[in-house]
Amino acid sequence: MIKKTVLIALLVLPVDAAVAAVMNVTNMTAVHGTYALSSPYVSWSNTENPSANLVTGYVNLGAVTELFGVPVVAMTQDGSMGVQGGSVVTAVVDDVAGTITADLTAWTSIWNNEIHNEGDANVTGTWNVLTGEYFLSWSRTHIGGATQGYVASWTMSGIATAVPVPAAVWLFGSGLIVMLGFARNKKH
């Protein structure tokens, strides 16, 4: 009886684990990407704060690039700077589909002494389950200031890690322990 139960459980475990593929991101860095304010696209690099974890608090990445000779500062913020902000960045990855979805409502830029919220609540992209590398892209129209109506387009890549604790694995493990306990009690 025990051998059959263990064999069946071992065959079912991989199927259950694959179904529970969506995991919360616990560490997410923003390393580089591109930025455009209507045009042209310029590459950006986070050289001032490359290991900043976007999902643990608000971060200032510093001047990540220049546009028309003026520095572009990127950060996440809560709205206390006089423009809309958002909650601390959250993200989920799907290791079966290879996707990432992030809430970047707090993404903000400062360019030419103007502060703009440039985030979005549902930014999607790709995620490599083996390396943790991700790629996101989104656009947001500027509201107010000299760049009113301009579209800011961003891409961002970095590393996103998640600690999987699928409920199916926990459920399977507890059920197996209970079944082994009952089988052992029947012997005695």
Report yes or no: 124 and 137 within 8 Å, Cβ to Cβ.
no
Report yes or no: 89 and 102 within 8 Å, Cβ to Cβ.
yes
Biggest CA–CA distance in the chain, Å, is: 82
| Distances in whole angstroms, Cα of residue 111 to Cα of each of 38, 75, 78, 142 | 14, 12, 18, 12
* pLDDT at 57 > cutoff 70: yes
Provide the total of helices (H) and of strands (E) in the chain, helices listed first.
2, 12
CA–CA separation, 109 vs 111, rounded Å? 6
Q: What is the CA radius of gyration of the chain?
A: 23
* pLDDT at 12 > cutoff 60: no
DSSP string, 87-138: SSPEEEEETTTTEEEEE-TTEEEEETTEEEE---S-EEEEE-TTT-EEEEEE
Provide the pLDDT confidence category of residue 17 given band limits of 50, 70 and 90: very low
Q: Which residue has the higher pLDDT, 36 or 2?
A: 36
| Distances in whole angstroms, Cα of residue 84 to Cα of each of 43, 155, 186 | 25, 20, 64
Instruction: Give the pLDDT confidence score for residue 8 in this predicted structure.
Output: 59
Report yes or no: 31 and 43 within 8 Å, Cβ to Cβ.
no
* pLDDT at 148 > cutoff 60: yes
Q: pLDDT tens-digit profile of 64-97?
A: 998 889 999 999 999 888 788 888 999 999 999 9
**Minimum mean pLDDT among 9-13, 112-116, 184-188: which range?**
9-13
Instruction: Give the pLDDT confidence score for residue 163 in this predicted structure.
Output: 75
DSSP string, 28-51: E---EEEEEESS-EEEEE--SSTT
Average pLDDT, integer, range 160-173: 68
The mean pLDDT of the chain is: 83
Q: pLDDT tens-digit profile of 89-143?
A: 999 999 999 999 999 999 999 988 899 999 999 999 999 999 999 999 999 998 8
